[in-house]
Structure 1
Amino acid sequence: MNQDDDFKPKLGKIRAGGGTRGRKFLHQVLAAANRAGGQSSGARTSKFHGGQIGRSAGIGRMLVSRDCHAAFRSRRVVIKSRIVKLAGKGVAGAKAHLRYIQRDGVTRDGAPGQLYGAEQDRVDGKPFLDRAEGDRHQFRFIVAPEDGDQYDDLKPLTRRLMAQMEQDLGTRLDWVAVDHYNTGHPHSHIIVRGRDDRDQDLVIAREYITTGLRERATDLVTLDLGPRTDLEIENRLRHDIEQVRLTSIDRRLLRDVDPDRLVWSTDTDAFQQSLRAGRLQKLKRLGLAEEVAPGRWRLADDIETTLRRMGERGDILKTMSREMTAKGLARSGADLVPHDPAAPPTRPIVGRLVARGLADEIKDRHYLIVDAVDGRTHYVEIGKGDSIAPIPDGAILRLDPRPVEPRPADHTIADIAAAHGGRYGIDIHLRHDPTASEAFAETHLRRLEAMRRLTGGVTREADGTWIIAPDHLDRAAAFERRQAQDAPVVVRILSALPLDRQIAADGPTWLARELVAATPEPLRDSGFGREVRDALAQRRQWLIEQGLARQEPDRIVFRADMLDVLRRRELLLVAGQLSNELGLAFVKTKSGQPVEGVYRRAVDLAGGKAALIEKSREFTLVPWRPVLDPHLGKQVSGILRGDDISWSFGRQRGGAECVVRTHVIWARVRGRIQAGSVTGMSSI
């Protein structure tokens, strides 16, 4: 048999040929099995799900089929699971996830989370990640008992669950966990390596991941706390009547609804009838149900989706209130603005970072809570955690909705390709527009390479040219929409310094830039807007005392070079501190000069981040860009142009940058071959 459920009964006497009656009865048996939820032999799919070779497939199916009536009194446990591939950026994401689940404020006393393992209460995450080097994948689980608040410590429960999992899977597991108590439901984050005790890929059957593990956890919690009593069940159901979210009472109403969306409030059981009647009255107040006749109710078409969103909104408001209280900030409920994840803010948000957290802990999607200058506090989902670098607490941010329309580069590529037979390349671009620089054309190649990797919307030929489809702009828009799923907003740090430290800071702070901005941010006279207004007045007075501004009868006049003076002051101050620390001389880099050395780290300044580039006897500070981070400790080079710098990474460069340089060489070779001028690679 090629599958556990392959079974064909042969009816009748042994060695009998089988007759019409036997075949007819066989068809009845198979039909009954299908109606009971079995899978017909013709309904199999070729999609792999681990059921054939995954560990504990049989145990998973056995646990699924247990007595549902016994489960009614069992303690409920929610388990979320995810299998994460570690190839490519997966390793960096795994490191970020492990670091983030240990963040501050997740324990009962607000301390950082502490990793623990099967035998130790404190373990280091670095050795765990080192052991996972080369692993194909890892498993992430969140285990949340409904009655988790009755446990003084979740560690014993987690260890017993993992020991049971090892027994079910028939292998030792390498895992770490962190317990979180910063939400209404205490829960444990468990990370399991994707290797078994024989150092082979660990494959777990889908049935065990989706149901089996939850049933094991349910058994353990029920054993610890005892089965749910009638009183506990009734109290839970009564509590659900007034909830603004989808409840078990709603699910039962939806099961009983007829094609016209009508349902009865009556039930043969008096207690169930009281639940239904009370819940329908609550749904009426929410505008999701109406009584069309005595005892007869019509439910709204989108009631399930609406209740889910209401529940999510309620959870978000609780999170916002908790975080604001923890920071000692008082805001009215009317000024708390949770933005729908499906509809990010349409206007820029400027304000102070209050908190960053996990909106979806299993998928590693993050949110920001921003106390904004408009006097309101915003909750905004920012997408995958690795799409936004760590942000200092209290930093001043600007959040912009990510545009989803084609960019100017896409229009340029489409126009050039249309004029050259649907092809684009460096050589083609420079011939089409002689005024364009090679560096400018390379930015278009990087754009195409990013599209190819994410959506496959373009094709690269062996000679380095690209095939551009007639609907390229539509494909570019699809690429932007796909990017917006991972990062729906663009987050920019305006200042890493908290507001109070900017007042007397020697540097071009955000406050200083706002004072001389042509269009400063509009401030509401409440909340953070009022704090900024007061801070601007103090910063203005400090600048007058420093001789960088003067008071006139009806206005304040700032020196034209005020920001430059502040920038030089800060640079010299920080450079002096770094010089003492490193034992190296500081050399200032001027615009147009080359920069070369080892990238050591980023340095936070009032005017933004700077990159510390070190040579054998000296160092310099230049504008930092995210592209530098993968090259920490490596040789880099570039040319400073004003406040920007164009980087290249020599032999260490990789990814899209390496592809771009390769394409430039191929484009030159191809062009010179066509011109008959190439005699050897030395001519390039």
Structure 2
Amino acid sequence: MTDDEFRPKLGKIGSRGSKAGKRFAGQLRAAINRAGGQSRRGGRFTGSRIGRGGAAAVLLKSRDRYAAYRQQRVVVKARLVKLAGKGSDGARAHLRYLQRDGVTRQGEPGELYGPDSDRVEGKDFIDRAEGDRHQFRFIVAAEDGIAYDDLKPLTRRLMVQMEEDLGTKLDWVAVDHFNTGHPHTHIMVRGKDDRGENLVIARDYISAGLRERAAELVSLDLGPRTDHEIEQRLLQEMEQERFTGIDRRLLQKRDNHGLVSPDGRDVFRHTLHQGRLRKLERMGLAEEVVPGRWRLDDELEATLRRLGERGDIIKTMHRELTSKGIARSAADYVVHDAEQNTEPVVGRVVARGLADEIQDRHYLIVDGLDGKSHYIDIGKGEATEPTHDGCIVRITSRNNEPRRVDRTIADIAAANGGRYNVDIHLRLDPSATERFAETHVRRLEAIRRATGGLERQPDGTWIIAPDHLDRVADYERQRARAEPVVIERLSSIPLDKQVGFDGATWLDRELVSNQPTALRDSGFGREVREAQIQRQQWLIAQGLANEEQGLVVYRAGMISMLRQRELNRVAGQLSEELGLSYAEARSGDQIEGMLRSSVELASGKYAVIQKSREFTLVPWRPVLDRHVGKAVSGTMQRESVSFTIWHQRSGPSVS
């Protein structure tokens, strides 16, 4: 026998396995399957238990689901937020927003609290988190949270239990909100454990474990749900125009033909299902094909979820408008769709709030010049500037198509072997100015920072791919998800304050415009029309306008005169505060100095540029947001400035 013919078999000599044992094992698995169990053979690894709290989550998920049926119900939403880049600024803004006015039962600002104190400073928490990789945000809302006079003790007990489950002390702050129909608590947890290591929490614990712990505590406080309470909740669900637990059970009960029948196990369940099916029938979402057999609409869940969201939005609009003393018909409520509503919305900001508190998506309620009240999803909170109540804004849907500047870059690069820089641009287009070409460079920089998909060589030359316009379209679509609309603040001064304001106001710009915004003779449109009439009388009294044959004629240069009045007045106030003289910036002047701060005027935002003995005011540009305290220079051109920002190491950059 050769070596190749030898095949060893491991195991006891003569053992071929027990057939009886195999038969018994097969019978056992079959019995388990018949009983509704599952034979588990090497389940796929999902990583859901990696991190702290994995073992606790497994224990909580294995509990008797029928016993949990009577538990008090609690909703827990969770999000892990990365703090790199702008994440830290976003966390700071989110914390400020959680402490906004009107969130307590008394309508006061929310107060942060912690494990041992009823009042803590958000700044201290953010400072401690400096350098953290991430943080956790939780929203905890008990279904019967209204039964609690104070949510702080419940939150503290929950966080103590969470620390036990995770095996580490936690650094956290919380704030309670009572400004909706369901009182809830926002909790922010640092992404560090008590040893200073990155805190990693098992996905199972985040998705289910924490909710189970909260339900336990609420059940201890309020007692288990009684049969009567459960039945009343289900009867309320039967008539709701949103996706409910009854709908979920009906979808699960559909047979192979897509049909469902009311549950006949007991009278109450049958009545509940039959009543819900009749409600769905009236909504056009269910059809009785034969007596007792129903076909559900394929889009039932999606449709009901949209209806539920819309119902919540209408309630929010009514609450905010009523609280501000604004009477509007529900027929004039408009839920803005950025993809379908292409016309700009101009109006007064009534309220700003969180549409999705865990994802930090904000909304604006705008009382429009068209007489309607608009609910507008404005996207991520950190992506939009603050918009206080009463300011006048214009909101337009973001255009997702490549811009003209993108097409110019692509054309120039295509003619130069896929390369673009300012010199190449000026050589190909002699009519272009250097300043104009630099706007193209700024566009490329913005895309590179957001996507990392553009290559810039050390000499400032950009490598432009053949599919550059497709990449730009992807960038714009990605940006539109975070910022679906563009918000232009037309005036920071409320309408009633503009009537007698000594400065150039939005009312003035509308009065002298060749294409003023259309006003509807109802709602805010009517208020603006009345304010314009009063403003005209003020302008006539100031000698800035005359009434001739029933028409108001405005003095030439009226807007510039009013703007200069306010500018001089504010400059005088700043001169006293800073102890510096004011130097007016004129067209063509070279502006140099330190960017000290900004001031908000009726005519817009201005930058305060300080020299050793004097300061000047120039129109603000968004790029300056990141450069307060730095040296800047630029040339004043009419009503704008092209700035150069001086960086300590890398030198100047043009903006």
Q: TM-score range by the shorter chain?
A: over 0.9
Conserved in 2, the CA contact under 8 Å of 1:509 and 1:606? yes
Tell me the secondary structure at the aligned position of residue 367 of structure 1: strand
Cα distance change of structure 1 residues 554 and 167 upon mapping to structure 2, 3 Å threshold? same
Aligned AA for 1:371? D
Distance 1:18 1:587 in 2: 99
The superposition leaves residues 608-645 of structure 1 with CA deviations (integer Å, 9 ceiling, x where unpaired) of 11111222221111111221122222222222211111
Corresponding residue number in structure 1 for 2:8: none
Aligned AA for 1:541? Q
Distance 2:276 2:39 in 1: 35
Moved more, 194-203 or 532-541: 194-203
The superposition leaves residues 336-360 of structure 1 with CA deviations (integer Å, 9 ceiling, x where unpaired) of 11224x7463210000000000011
Corresponding residue number in structure 2 for 1:44: 45
Cα distance change of structure 1 residues 25 and 98 upon mapping to structure 2, 3 Å threshold? farther
Identity across matched positions, percent: 62
How far is 1:230 from its partner? Answer: 0.2
Corresponding residue number in structure 1 for 2:618: 622
Distance 2:351 2:465 in 1: 44
Corresponding residue number in structure 1 for 2:305: 308
Corresponding residue number in structure 1 for 2:177: 180
Distance 1:383 1:356 in 2: 12
Corresponding residue number in structure 2 for 1:156: 153
Distance 2:169 2:616 in 1: 51
Corresponding residue number in structure 2 for 1:471: 467
Please give the residue correspondences for 1:6-25 in structure 2 after superposition, counting only pairs within 5 Å: 18=17
Please give the residue correspondences for 1:191-270 in structure 2 after superposition, counting only pairs within 5 Å: 191-270=188-267
- Give structure 2 stretches of 5+ with no counterpart: 1-10
Corresponding residue number in structure 1 for 2:4: none
The superposition leaves residues 280-311 of structure 1 with CA deviations (integer Å, 9 ceiling, x where unpaired) of 11112212112222222221110100000000
Cα distance change of structure 1 residues 27 and 409 upon mapping to structure 2, 3 Å threshold? farther
Conserved in 2, the CA contact under 8 Å of 1:261 and 1:300? no
Aligned AA for 1:610? Y
Corresponding residue number in structure 1 for 2:357: 361
Conserved in 2, the CA contact under 8 Å of 1:113 and 1:180? yes
Moved more, 282-291 or 515-524: 282-291
Cα distance change of structure 1 residues 16 and 163 upon mapping to structure 2, 3 Å threshold? farther
Please give the residue correspondences for 1:323-338 in structure 2 after superposition, counting only pairs within 5 Å: 323-338=320-335
Cα distance change of structure 1 residues 630 and 131 upon mapping to structure 2, 3 Å threshold? same
Distance 1:351 1:473 in 2: 35
Aligned AA for 2:450? L
Corresponding residue number in structure 1 for 2:72: 75
Aligned AA for 2:441? L
Conserved in 2, the CA contact under 8 Å of 1:599 and 1:611? yes
Corresponding residue number in structure 1 for 2:7: none
Which of 475, 483, 486 does residue 482 from structure 2 map onto? Answer: 486
Tell me the secondary structure at the aligned position of residue 423 of structure 2: helix
Moved more, 249-258 or 430-439: 430-439
Conserved in 2, the CA contact under 8 Å of 1:575 and 1:586? yes
Distance 1:348 1:264 in 2: 48
Which of 531, 539, 548 does residue 535 from structure 1 map onto? Answer: 531
Aligned AA for 2:432? A
Matched, 1:190 2:192: no
Tell me the secondary structure at the aligned position of residue 599 of structure 1: strand
Aligned AA for 2:78? S
How far is 1:325 from its partner? Answer: 0.8
Distance 1:15 1:178 in 2: 72
Tell me the secondary structure at the aligned position of residue 199 of structure 2: coil
Tell me the secondary structure at the aligned position of residue 369 of structure 1: strand
Aligned residues: CA RMSD:
2.4
Conserved in 1, the CA contact under 8 Å of 2:364 and 2:377? yes
How far is 1:647 from its partner? Answer: 1.6
Please give the residue correspondences for 1:319-468 in structure 2 after superposition, counting only pairs within 5 Å: 319-340=316-337, 343=339, 345-461=341-457, 464-468=460-464
The superposition leaves residues 532-555 of structure 1 with CA deviations (integer Å, 9 ceiling, x where unpaired) of 000000001111111111001131
Conserved in 2, the CA contact under 8 Å of 1:344 and 1:488? no
Distance 2:385 2:650 in 1: 20
Aligned AA for 2:200? V
Moved more, 465-474 or 365-374: 465-474
How far is 1:463 from its partner? Answer: 5.0
Aligned AA for 2:109? P
Distance 2:486 2:14 in 1: 74
Cα distance change of structure 1 residues 564 and 524 upon mapping to structure 2, 3 Å threshold? same
Matched, 1:546 2:531: no
Conserved in 1, the CA contact under 8 Å of 2:339 and 2:397? no
Matched, 1:575 2:576: no
TM-score using structure 1 length:
0.90
Moved more, 135-144 or 631-640: 631-640
Tell me the secondary structure at the aligned position of residue 649 of structure 1: strand
The superposition leaves residues 540-592 of structure 1 with CA deviations (integer Å, 9 ceiling, x where unpaired) of 11111111110011311111111011011111111112222222211111112
- Give structure 1 stretches of 5+ with no counterpart: 1-11, 662-684
Conserved in 2, the CA contact under 8 Å of 1:354 and 1:394? yes
Distance 2:481 2:425 in 1: 31
How far is 1:598 from its partner? Answer: 2.1
Aligned AA for 1:288? L
Aligned AA for 2:332? D
How far is 1:525 from its partner? Answer: 0.5
Moved more, 376-385 or 448-457: 448-457
Corresponding residue number in structure 1 for 2:294: 297
Matched, 1:272 2:273: no
Tell me the secondary structure at the aligned position of residue 173 of structure 2: strand
Tell me the secondary structure at the aligned position of residue 514 of structure 2: coil
Moved more, 409-418 or 457-466: 457-466
Corresponding residue number in structure 2 for 1:285: 282
How far is 1:601 from its partner? Answer: 2.1
TM-score using structure 2 length:
0.93
Distance 2:13 2:207 in 1: 41
Tell me the secondary structure at the aligned position of residue 510 of structure 2: helix
Matched, 1:166 2:163: yes
